[in-house]
Chains A and B, each alone.
Chain A
Amino acid sequence: MKNGRGKLRDDLLVGMGFALMLAALYMALVYAPTEKYAGAVQRIFYFHVPLAWVGFLAFLVVFIGSILYLWKRSVIWDSIAWASAEVGVVFTSLVLITGSIWAKAAWGIWWTWDARLTATLVLWFVYVAYLMVRGYAREESQGARLSAVLGIVGFINVPIVALAINLWRTQHPTALIFEGGLAPTMLVALLVCVVAFTVLYILLVRQATSLKILESDIENMKNLRLE
């Protein structure tokens, strides 16, 4: 149910997202300096890292939405969790793809069973399973309940998988960003990209959530007529 103000807020968000995306493109492709050793290909970093951040944020939202759904049983929380899982899977897929392209250029291989790559892949599988549970559920409320369980159990799994796989092996460049190893201009470009992708995420989840709520309203109306 969208009133005038909700529509305006959406339009503002779309406009902001569009402007930020353009800014992100400019920052990543023009403003940021070319990396000395890796060359132009390193610019994929400005999309890879924000995508990874948003992917993780999306799964955190799934986790919170799932808890709140099981607690309050409100269709809104379920719709948010579901929408966020969909967006999260898309973004995580993009993380794996951009990462692969970057790895080919930087390490000479498409894929390596490195800790972070493997953990991301495992995470991706968990949330693909989440979407599959929804798809295979016999009715809406059952799918919501069962996938909420998976949304919680799957997220708790993240630190354990990360720990286990980290011990197992690691090759991914770690925490360069936090150690201050990044040139200031690069950091600025990265931050702009992170903000742009976060706004895109909020926009997509808002749209998908309201769509799902409308769908469930229609479903309820149909059931009313049948009765």
Chain B
Amino acid sequence: MSRMFASVFAIFWKDVLSEIRTKEIVTAVLVFALLVLVIFNFAFDAASGTTARIAPGILWVAFTFAGILGLNRVFAVEKENSSLAGLRLCPVDRMVIFWGKLAGSFTFMLVIAAVITPIFLVLFNLPLFLPRLALIIVLATLGFTSVGTLFSALAMNIRARDIMLPILFLPLVVPVIIGAVETTTCVLAGGPWSDMLTWLEIMIAFDIIYLVVATLMFEFVIEE
């Protein structure tokens, strides 16, 4: 068991190191997500007093799009130098590779969220200290990345992979997006916990189901 964790951590750490050195995913996606926030400001007039109603949607569209960009890279980097073949040759269970990659993309997404969310709150003049929003972001990111890591590996092997990832990814994460937007609306409006409980439960259920399903399916996706 501890050997399995060590292997997962090794794959995770490899991704983190290469990210620290190249800064390929986090920096690029961060700038992109910021731009989405700015563009939305033109699309919906955020100054017109409707901020509280449209802000959650803006945040989650920015996150979702940023997530797609980032997830696209997760396996593209493995493909570029045929390092996926190396990963496949590792004397570990396929499950371990999945969890390692998942841990990597989950961490990158959280780093991006940690930078984007405060900027978003400042730009839209919203309260800055929202611990409940952090919980929502963790739950939603886990859902996004468990589905996304599986589909990133799936799309990597087919033609038109850049466009196929969003086409595969978006319909599946609909429940997470709805849940995240609903709970964020509640948090920004200062609503009670009880209002968001059902949605939190749905998001937790989604996370668990897709962690299990994606772990089981991953093996079939990367076999040669």
B182: A residues at CB distance < 8 A: 168
> Is B171's CB under 8 angstroms from A122's CB?
yes
Among candidates B147, B159, B179, B209, residue contacting A136 with C-beta atoms closer than 8 Å: B159
Among candidates A132, A154, A160, residue contacting B164 with C-beta atoms closer than 8 Å: A132
**Interface SS of A by simple majority:** helix
> Once A and B bind, how many residue pairs between them come within 8 Å at the CB atom?
85
Among candidates A70, A126, A165, residue contacting B172 with C-beta atoms closer than 8 Å: A126
Residue of B nearest to A137 (CB): B158
> Is B202's CB under 8 angstroms from A125's CB?
no
> Is A132's CB under 8 angstroms from B221's CB?
no
A143: B residues at CB distance < 8 A: 158
**Interface SS of B by simple majority:** helix
Number of interface residues of B (CB under 8 A): 30
> Is A163's CB under 8 angstroms from B202's CB?
yes
Q: From residue 29 to 82 of chain A, which have CB atoms closer than 8 A to chain B?
A: 70
Indicate if B174 sits at the interface (CB-CB under 8 A): yes
B160: A residues at CB distance < 8 A: 136
Contact size class for A? 20 to 34
Among candidates B157, B205, B214, B220, residue contacting A160 with C-beta atoms closer than 8 Å: B205
Interface positions of B (Cβ within 8 A of A): 147, 150, 154, 157-160, 164, 167-168, 170-172, 174-175, 178-179, 182, 198-199, 202, 205-206, 209, 213-214, 217, 220-221, 223
Offer 18 A-B interface pairs, CB within 8 angstroms, sorted by A.
A122-B171, A125-B171, A126-B171, A133-B158, A136-B164, A137-B157, A142-B158, A145-B220, A148-B220, A149-B217, A150-B168, A153-B150, A156-B213, A157-B172, A160-B175, A163-B202, A164-B202, A165-B175
